[in-house]
Amino acid sequence: MEVMEMSDNELKEQLIREYVNIQRLKNSKDRDRELAYQEKVLKVKLQTLGIPTEDLEP
């Protein structure tokens, strides 16, 4: 398995995106809907990287 390293800027961008997502969830009038949306987006990103998401479900 190839390990890819993130640059400092890529890491900063990722952390900013995570922070923004948490703020969106905290301020959402429909938290369940926002959470479902964020979960869908994250699953697509993981699958695009070849990471199976089936085993992540509780």
Region 23-45: mean pLDDT is 94
Q: Which amino acid is at 40?
A: K
> What is the chain's percent helix, strand, coil content, to nearest 5?
70, 0, 30
**Beta strand extents in 1-58 (DSSP E only):** none
pLDDT above 80: residue 30: yes
Res 22: pLDDT: 94
Asked whether the whole model's pTM tops 0.85, one would answer no
| Higher per-residue confidence, 2 vs 21 | 21
Res 5: pLDDT: 84
User: Could you tell me the pLDDT band of residue 2, with boundaries at 50, 70 and 90?
Assistant: low
